[in-house]
Amino acid sequence: MGWDKDANTVFSINRNTTDQSFPGNMPTTCTIRDLFTQYLDFNAVPRRTFFQYLRYFATEELETERLDEFLSAEGAVRLSSFIFL
């Protein structure tokens, strides 16, 4: 991804809201390399909460509408189909 020059730069992870969970094993300081090799699992099936967090950050109307659809009770089956493509 072109992050080689920044991969070993240490940064802080700050929790900005108290109403959202934060993984207990996540360090408060680490490098980008450590974060992506030791703490994040890109092969994991995303949970519904992941899409709730995405919805919070969505800026495009089409993205917001799709996420709202996935997060509705009626869209649960469609979300499941989307996840397991």
pLDDT tens profile 8-23:
999 988 777 777 666 7
Distance between CA atoms of residues 38 and 19, nearest Å? 25
Centroid of chain to Cα 7 = 19
Phi, psi of 43 (to 5 degrees): -95, -5
User: What's the confidence (pLDDT) of residue 65?
Assistant: 92
Spatial CA neighbour of 52 closest among 19, 85, 25: 19
Does residue 61 surpass a pLDDT of 90? yes
Tens digit of each residue's pLDDT (9 = 90 or more) over 2-60: 778 889 999 988 777 777 666 778 888 999 899 888 888 878 888 888 888 888 889 99
Q: Give, as one character, the DSSP assignment of residue 84.
A: T
| Domain residue ranges in the chain | 1-43, 48-83
How many other C-beta atoms are found inside a 10 Å radius of the C-beta of residue 50? 12
User: What's the confidence (pLDDT) of residue 20?
Assistant: 67
Q: What is the pTM of this model?
A: 0.54
